[in-house]
Amino acid sequence: MHENKSFMIAGIDHFVLTVASLEVTCAFYQRVLGLERIDTPGRPTALAFGNQKINVHEIGRTFEPKAKAPTLGSGDFCLITDRPLNEVCARLAANDVAVEVGPVERTGARGPMLSIYFRDPDGNLVEVSEYEPDKT
């Protein structure tokens, strides 16, 4: 979609969520979305998927440097699935996670997609999207 080769950024490696409970948050993302928990001594716990990860900082136990004002529930992000969105919805339902919005049409970085929105245990807004198949 964007052909500008002057971009200095090629992708996202990770982002950080500040959470009330490391254990509750990790269990949620492992159970509901199948993310892999990685614990490394002296490093933030991570939830890995594909070539990206979410670093998880428990409130009061953050790592330096950090955001100026780490806040519970301030996250709002979109994850891309390579599975049918109805499969994700079924997994959410099986884990008693309510879909707040969706499926709805959205436009992502690569074009049209279908999205659902739900909240994690800290109130972060999680969007999971499926890109529409190429119509060429």
Residues with active-site annotation: 127
Q: Where are the alpha helices (DSSP H) in the chain?
A: 22-33, 85-94
* Distance, CA of 20 to CA of 57 (rounded, Å): 9
* Distance, CA of 77 to CA of 12 (rounded, Å): 12
